[in-house]
Structure 1
Amino acid sequence: MGSALIKGLHRSGNHTVIACDLDPDALESVADYVDRTTSEVSEAVTDADVVVVAVKPDIVGAVLSDLDLSPKQTLLSIAAGVPTDYVEARTDANVVRVMPNLAAETGDMAAAVTGDDIPEEVRQLLDAVGEFAEIDEAQMDIATAVNGSGPAFVFYLIQAMAEAGVEGGLEESDAETLAAQTFKGAAETVLRSDRSTEELIDAVCSPNGTTIEGMEVLWDSNADADVAAAVRAAEERSAELAAEFGDENDA
């Protein structure tokens, strides 16, 4: 996720980015997309307006213990399942929690963000790599499932459509292009249109046409329930992770 964010910010060209990691391979992988790399935490964060913590949840505490931030700085946490109050208890910085997704790399990110004070610098950063919604902390588990885990669910559906195309005689690369671009175009239509998704479905379905025949199969299936179940499972896991950090705060 951190790498995707770095590459997206590089594409925008409007931010000075310093990458910090103890793993030289990780730094090498993003070296072409940042102003400089370092393994020294103090060098990376001393003059930064926004410090992004993009690590696995189980090492967040260790990373925070190495950060000496001031109240004038903002710490942007993108560690899945780590509650804002856990981070706030371990830093003097203003804490903003965000759940982005991998599409930040291409400037098409969907992100959920929460915090008592979301500064303009953070809004500009997120705007540079996609769209974001400001939500309450209590909604972060479901947001994590919808937009954080969601790309994998969409990849699965793209794969299913592409495989159907291949079975029908399309070349694999052509089927994947058509399926992926169809998802991209449909998503843009939803974002730009004032019509509901139900209305958009009706707009594509001509009476006695091809689309309505396919939709009848979907309407008669459990596809919507299965997708909802996948989202709920991801939400429940996010809540479990958050509970573990809550228990640590109470200890």
Structure 2
Amino acid sequence: MVKYGFIGTGSMAQAMIQGLIHKNILPSDIAVSSPRSAAKLSEKWGVVALPVQQLIDESDLVVLAFLPNQLDNITANVDFHNKLVVSVLAGINVAQLVAATGTTQIVRTLPNVNVANNQGLTAFAKETLTSTNDKIFNIFSDYLGDSVALAESQFPVFSAIAGSGPAYVFKFIDALAQAGIDNGLEAALATKIATQTVLGSATTLLKSSQTAQELQNAVASPGGSTRAGLDDFNDQNFDHVVSHAIKATIEHKHL
């Protein structure tokens, strides 16, 4: 049984822990270390609160999930041995992680919040791992959703689409729901309709051999009401608005 350790307990660490527990990983096989919140999470979920070095010693996979500017202070006086170290630290590349931890058993990752319900997508870049650690990382990724190997130079684009993207999808759902409310639907019902429609449409696209553009055309009959809506999206430069927002996100992140 793989044991997981989280150094840091911020929102991403908690989302990952939730995802592991949802996949029936025992809370007793998950350790956390944080001066302010480890005890609270232990009480809330049954995970084990440990000092940093003990957490490393007793874990097969160690997740670095604290603030990036804390990297040198936290890693200065600990020994990672040959354990698999997975970082979710924004803006810290593989070379920096190797230098700080003193191990090459490093994977830099960019998960998104959907790991909490096992539907996440995680980008990763890694050093050459031992066969044991490589196997552990594959299991870890499968539990939380899916993963994709990516050059670190492409992390900013991935982060803008997959990391920030959930917020933009929520905004679209909210806009759909608000349009329903404006046209006479009750708020909770409008939100349910919009949410399920986005979920179902995403599932349809994932399972289809057709592109998103082809599926748009399949739904929108020539001269029909759906085509009228899509034409209005084009008139309002919808694609440009999305592209512009992603560009702003990339330029702001500087990953």
SS at match of 1:128: helix
Q: Mind listing any 5+ residue stretches in structure 1 that lack a counterpart? A: 243-251
Using the alignment, how far apart are the partners of 1:124 and 1:209 within structure 2? 47
The residue correspondences of 1:160-239 to structure 2 (distance < 5 A) are 160-239=175-254
Are the equivalent residues in 2 in contact too, given 1:6–1:33 (CA < 8 A)? no
Deviation string, structure 1 residues 72-101 (Cα, Å, up to 9, x no partner): 211100012221211111113311011111
Q: 1:109 to 1:66 in 2, by over 3 A?
A: farther
Paired residue type of 1:188: T
Paired residue type of 1:79: L
Counterpart position of 1:74: 84
Counterpart position of 2:34: 21
Offset of 1:22 from its aligned partner?
A: 0.8
Offset of 1:210 from its aligned partner?
A: 2.1
Counterpart position of 2:70: 59
Counterpart position of 1:249: none
Q: Which has the higher contact order (CA 8 A, sep 6+)?
A: 1
The residue correspondences of 1:20-169 to structure 2 (distance < 5 A) are 20-24=33-37, 27-29=39-41, 31-38=43-50, 40-70=51-81, 72-93=82-103, 94-117=105-128, 119-169=134-184
- Calculate the aligned-residue CA RMSD, in Å: 1.7
Q: Identity rate of aligned residues, in percent?
A: 29
Are the equivalent residues in 2 in contact too, given 1:53–1:75 (CA < 8 A)? yes
Deviation string, structure 1 residues 93-126 (Cα, Å, up to 9, x no partner): 3110111111111111111111123612112111
SS at match of 1:55: coil
Are the equivalent residues in 2 in contact too, given 1:3–1:30 (CA < 8 A)? no
Using the alignment, how far apart are the partners of 2:111 and 2:217 within structure 1? 31
Using the alignment, how far apart are the partners of 1:140 and 1:66 within structure 2? 29
Q: Between Structure 1 and Structure 2, how many residues are aligned?
A: 237
Paired residue type of 2:116: E
Deviation string, structure 1 residues 159-197 (Cα, Å, up to 9, x no partner): 111111111111111111111111111111222111111
Offset of 1:205 from its aligned partner?
A: 0.7
Q: Mind listing any 5+ residue stretches in structure 2 that lack a counterpart? A: 1-11
TM-score (norm 1): 0.88
TM-score (norm 2): 0.87
